[in-house]
Structure 1
Amino acid sequence: MTQFVIPVIHSIFDGAALIATVLGEYSIQQPYSCKLYKRGLNDTYLVETEGENYILRVYRRSWHNKEEIDFELELLAFLHQQQQPIAYPIARTDGNFTTEVLAPEGVRYASVFSYAPGYAVNEKLDHKQSYTLGEVLAKIHQTLNKFQSSFSRPVLNNEYLLDWSILKIKSLYQDRAKDINYFQQQIEIIKSQLLEIKLSLLAPEYGICVGDVHSGNAHFTKQNQPTLFDFDQCGYGWRAFDIAKFLHAAMKMKIDITVRHSFIEGYQAIRQLNETEIASIPIFIKAAHIWVMGISANAVDDVLAYGWFDNDWLDGRLSMLRDFE
């Protein structure tokens, strides 16, 4: 019988093996369980010990390089030092935040994070929680004005949010030329609108953004105290984009408009948005929509199978984009 050696695109690690190898490098209690909790842009494991729980993230090989990962972890460590409510990285015994793992597809990196107390509310987000989440984001933005990193990270600009995304989408829908042209037209409109309103490239309007703040990426305690996690999409950009990203996710979850407005009210209780920033939010909602599509399209093969991107997928997102207009 002929045997073939076939390349692996994306492997899933065994939890027990991670306990025996990777987790022994961190200053935590001996885990008794490590289970795959969520598979997305990265693989997320729930690590349980007698004292407390942790999150182990194994970064996807084709998503972020080591430099970009180091930027995120350094940023989170800084926010933790500044007493911001975020899930922070746990250092290894040698002081580093990542462990290099040789997977069948190549080198991948693993990191351990504190477990955010409470629970995710998702579409059940209420006015108070939304307001508090807005306050926390504004405080994080203010805190990050003081952050400096020696590592690089993609800038959340037109080229990355829009041009990169349409290339990924186009590669999957070559038979939908009319619809791809519509996306391209919308991208040119977005660029033109942003150029017209002339956003500043200085703080506080511009700086490091979290990239994916929403009610599924925060846990709330019974006292409604939030802890944010998943800064995997962070980068330098306009802060109004962070607000638009929240609104985009909330609209997809069909969260009531008054609850969405509470988020903006909470943000402005800490930092008042100027007229230009407010005018940019609807534009950035469309940009966020296209970027999320691009991120999904980029995950073909190693996260999302090609068959996931059928005509219904594109039709649904076209409909949402037209609604945003």
Structure 2
Amino acid sequence: MSSPFIPVIHSIPSGAALIATVLYKYPINKPHSCKLIKRGLNDTYLVEAEEKKYILRVYRRGWRNKQDIDFELELLAFLHEQKQPVAYPIARIDGGFTTEIAAPEGKRYVAIFSYAPGHAVNDKLDTKQSYILGKVLAEIHQTLDIFKSSFSRPTLNNEYLLDWSIVSITPLYQNRKKEMDLLQQQIDRIKNQLTVINLSFSAPEYGICIGDVHSGNTHFTNNNKPTLFDFDQCGYGWRAFDIAKFLHVALRMKINLTIRNSFVEGYQAIRKLNQSELASIPIFIKAAHIWVMGISTNAVGDVLPYGWFNDDWLDERLAMLESLDDAKSILK
């Protein structure tokens, strides 16, 4: 008598199976290779066909619902139509963007994207590239002011960025009550500071944000033409948060102040930030830091192992959070 199957938390679909069961539904000429290139919040594959390359994403079960995914894909298709430099979704032959697959853990969704030419510069980002990326972000923000969607998406507000995050972090560190209390105090302080600044809830200060713009989510060609990708964290919020998210990643990559400032200068070449927005950026960097902690701990047990989240993980991130109190060293 055979034993019953053990439930699966997170599976890695076979590239060959994705070619056979998914890719034929898209106008892709003779795909011959589908290889997993990144495991993260979602599983990312490089598809090589006779004429082009593509990116295939299998969305992680339980991370994004169908409404969230449809919003992201509709937004990217809109930006492509508006000639913005983004990796855009490839429509199926029947016109849809997603394909449902039956994974061992349950229903998951697949989307195919154009391949972004060039490569990610990561911590090798230079002043010129940073300036270009800042300009592109501002242009995308302006373009998205006229975007309308029939789908819903989580708002990048205090409840989502901060309260959701500490709810995700705390269960892993019940033995570190003092540190969790300090983290809660930081959250309360961030909320109070944003209340005092009193940012507007109307465009151009408020609107759709990409949520994760940085030099790892952008490919630059040899002549510094950028293509942005991975809008998985997009949502409605204050645009200053997008700038802060770039700066947060740049700080973690140890990208220097001159290059970081060049990004803000590029953004302001398209849209001038007001004093409230400038004052909010260091605060949003701290919010972004906490949010990334929350996203990481939310993925524990299926994408990330519990062993990652030891005392050193927490201590390093709390130390960086404390260092972010020095706003002058972040942005001038």
TM-score under structure 2 length normalisation: 0.97
CA distance in 1, matches of 2:61, 2:304: 14
Deviation sequence 1:47-91 (CA, Å, 0-9, x none)? 001211000000000100000000000000000000000000000
Q: Aligned residue for 2:237?
A: 237
Amino acid at match of 1:135: K
1:5 Cα deviation after fit: 2.5
TM-score under structure 1 length normalisation: 0.99
Deviation sequence 1:213-233 (CA, Å, 0-9, x none)? 000000000000100000000
Q: Aligned residue for 1:83?
A: 83
CA distance in 1, matches of 2:166, 2:139: 33
CA distance in 1, matches of 2:25, 2:313: 42
1:2 Cα deviation after fit: 7.0
SS of the residue corresponding to residue 87 of structure 2 reads coil
CA distance in 1, matches of 2:222, 2:50: 23
1:16 Cα deviation after fit: 0.6
Matched, 1:168 2:177: no
Amino acid at match of 1:65: N
Q: Aligned residue for 2:19?
A: 19
Amino acid at match of 1:57: R
Matched, 1:102 2:102: yes
Amino acid at match of 1:50: E
1:262 Cα deviation after fit: 0.3
1:3 Cα deviation after fit: 2.1
SS of the residue corresponding to residue 265 of structure 2 reads helix
Q: Aligned residue for 2:116?
A: 116
Q: Which segments of 5 or more consecutive residues in structure 1 lack a partner in the other structure?
A: none
Q: Aligned residue for 1:201?
A: 201
Written as runs of structure 1 = structure 2, the 5 A alignment for 1:118-157 is: 118-157=118-157
Q: Aligned residue for 1:58?
A: 58
Q: Aligned residue for 1:223?
A: 223
CA distance in 1, matches of 2:296, 2:190: 20
SS of the residue corresponding to residue 315 of structure 2 reads helix
Amino acid at match of 1:116: A
1:4 Cα deviation after fit: 3.8
Deviation sequence 1:89-148 (CA, Å, 0-9, x none)? 000000000000011111000000000000000000000000000000000000000000
Amino acid at match of 1:108: R
Matched, 1:185 2:185: yes
Q: Aligned residue for 2:10?
A: 10
Deviation sequence 1:226-261 (CA, Å, 0-9, x none)? 000000000000000000000000000000110000
Q: Aligned residue for 1:265?
A: 265
CA distance in 2, matches of 1:209, 1:292: 16
Q: Aligned residue for 2:292?
A: 292
CA distance in 1, matches of 2:112, 2:304: 25
Matched, 1:302 2:294: no
CA distance in 2, matches of 1:78, 1:4: 46
CA distance in 2, matches of 1:256, 1:280: 20
CA distance in 2, matches of 1:90, 1:30: 15
1:192 Cα deviation after fit: 0.2
Amino acid at match of 1:219: H
CA distance in 2, matches of 1:269, 1:172: 43
Amino acid at match of 1:300: V
CA distance in 1, matches of 2:180, 2:238: 26
CA distance in 1, matches of 2:54, 2:207: 29
SS of the residue corresponding to residue 119 of structure 2 reads coil
Q: Aligned residue for 1:70?
A: 70
CA distance in 2, matches of 1:152, 1:49: 34
Q: Which segments of 5 or more consecutive residues in structure 2 lack a partner in the other structure?
A: 326-332
Amino acid at match of 2:192: S
Matched residues, number: 325
Amino acid at match of 1:11: S
Matched, 1:276 2:282: no
CA distance in 2, matches of 1:130, 1:306: 35
